[in-house]
Structure 1
Amino acid sequence: MIYEGKAITVTLIDGGIAELKFDLQGESVNKFNRVTLEDLDAAVKAIQGNSDVKGVLVTSGKDVFIVGADITEFGTTFKGSEEEIASWTLEANQIFNAVEDLEVPTLTAINGIALGGGFEMCLATDMRVMSEKAKIGLPEVKLGLMPGFGGTVRLPRVIGADNAIEWICMGAENKPEKALKDGAVDAVVAADKLKEQAVEMLKAAIAGEINWQARREEKKAKLKLNAMEAMMVFETAKGFVAG
């Protein structure tokens, strides 16, 4: 066991793969509350300090992946000053950035609903494999919020700014066909084959058969839009948002 907390465990499985499993104790679903964020921070630090880890597989021990942030904590959080809220958001983003910056390839196996912060967790990893029964998306707009854990930055680089604007502004729960077509996931597989296929893809990345470093750099780089393309995308987006 590399790490064991109240929401996350990290164990070494075959091939030097560390399985980072979300399984929030005492809850029927996984969600990003303060306990989960603190666990994720500690789990990533434990992985960083372990030379036996060659790759990281992110999984869920529940029927869903992660349903999103724990909105019951928002009342207390949003009573704070603007500076306090910004500080909380920055702290959370630094944890997601640490996941993205791990020195080994990372992959999320999405077994069920991955919404809001749950999908933003998926976006922090280099690769994503999705069960045919799962749904992904950023529905925060329906609560009057913007995705705050990096979704507005990472998603445009993964699926393109035009698609990302649609995903963020519509707040839809996207089925596997749409997710694969837009490029939000790398593969869709049968539910009972999810972990097996995810491990195979991660092993391919560890072996150098998949250029995960290039994927990561593209996700962290500037948007690949020239001046004309940027104008077209964002002027169209203004109308989309207004609608």
Structure 2
Amino acid sequence: MTYENILVTTENNIATLTINRPSKLNALNVATINELHKAFKKLEKDNEVQVILLTGSGEKAFVAGADISEFANFSVEQGMKLAAEGQEKLFDFVENLKTPVIAAVNGFALGGGLELAMACHFRIASDNAKMGLPEVSLGVIPGYGGTQRLPQLIGKGRAMEMIMTAGMINAEEAHRNGLVNHVVSQTELLEFCTTIAQKIIKNSPNAISKAIKAVNANFKEGKNGYETEIKAFGKCFGTEDFKEGTTAFLEKRKALFTGK
């Protein structure tokens, strides 16, 4: 499939999805959101892809925000539709993807860019990264899940301050606050992400997808995370991966998982 705003490569069971609008600092417009949705959907169905790395092109930005020119003249109804469709097609979609998604934050991750990074299963930042939700400086609020995911990740008080001040934090502060898992140099970023991805690949894809579902359940209204965990745990017993994993352990050899 050919895309205009993103690049997709796959090697050794790891897909790298790059948002490629460097002249716009990789800002998210509707076309890019639609392309990302299609790409993630296709990669999830590809049994050869076990981890997805998401990053931005160039050295300045992961995603510097949404494309403001697209919605500057929107009505109330259009604004609500923009947020609802964006969350469904991309942000919620990525969060609930069965395949692990790692955000490689290589520079500015602002507004929709930080919201996209937060929708990924975890984040690794380059040491030049800057993150923030500056929407209130434009007279609007984060609309792609930012008011929900940021407090979940760094706590209510810190999230309130970041959102109300419209300020940015650097990579080290993001790491201290738990927003990103690791900080490395920009030249090492993708290699470091690949190393973690390779560790993930050694484990059961089936179990990992169930773990993602169970962890996410704790943050969903009306869901009981413990019940979701119990059901997912039980279902693991009926998989080939469980039989292979336990047999390999007892035979003192490395397991060869198939994801079935």
Post-superposition Cα deviations, 1:164-205, rounded to whole Å, max 9, x if no partner, equal: 112211211111111011000000001111111011122223
| Paired position in structure 2 for 1:126 | 121
State yes or no: 1:198 paired with 2:193: yes
Distance 1:193 1:132 in 2: 10
- Give the total of aligned pairs: 216
Shift of 1:212: 8.5
Please report how far the alpha carbon of residue 9 of structure 1 lies from its aligned counterpart in structure 2 after TM superposition. 2.0
Name 2:181's counterpart in structure 1.
186
Q: Distance in 2 between matches of 1:220 and 1:62?
A: 35
Q: Given the alignment of the two structures, is residue 86 of structure 1 paired with residue 83 of structure 2, yes or no? A: no
C-alpha distance 181-105 of structure 1, shift in aligned 2 (>3 A): same
Displacement, 1:107? 0.2
Matched, 1:19 2:13: no
Q: Is the 8 A contact 1:24 1:36 kept in 2?
A: no
Query: 1:50–1:30: structure 2 CA closer, same or farther, 3 Å change rule?
Result: same
Q: Percent identity?
A: 34
User: Where in structure 2 are there 5+ consecutive unaligned residues?
Assistant: 221-260
Deviation of residue 208 (structure 1)? 3.8
Structure 2 residue identity aligned to 1:29: L
* Counterpart residue type for residue 75 of structure 1: A
Q: Which runs of 5 or more structure 1 residues have no equivalent in the other structure?
A: 224-243
**Superposed counterparts of 1:1-243, under 5 Å:** 3-14=1-12, 16-24=13-21, 27-63=23-59, 64-76=61-73, 78=74, 80=75, 82-95=76-89, 96-208=91-203, 217-218=214-215, 221-222=218-219
Show structure 1 runs of 4+ deviating over 4 A.
Answer: 211-220
How far has the Cα of 1:84 moved from its partner? 3.2
Query: TM-score, with normalisation over the residues of structure 1?
Result: 0.81
Shift of 1:216: 6.7
> Are residues 156 and 213 of structure 1, via their aligned partners in 2, closer, same or farther at CA, if it must alter by over 3 Å?
farther
Q: Secondary structure at the match of 1:57?
A: strand
The structure with the largest alpha-carbon Rg is 2
- Residue deviations 1:134-191, cap 9 Å, x none? 1111111111211111111111111112221122112111111110110000000011
Question: For 1:183 and 1:40, how far apart are their aligned partners in 2?
Answer: 26
TM (norm. structure 2) is 0.76
Change in Cα spacing, 1:216 to 1:172, as seen in structure 2 (3 Å) is farther
Q: Which residue of 1 aligns with 2:248?
A: none
Task: Tell me the distance in 2 between the aligned counterparts of 1:12 and 1:119.
Answer: 24
User: Which whole-Å CA distance do the structure 2 matches of 1:68 and 1:168 have between them?
Assistant: 14
Q: Post-superposition shift, 1:114? A: 0.7
Distance 1:159 1:207 in 2: 30
The separation in 2 between residues aligned to 1:212 and 1:134, in whole angstroms, is 29
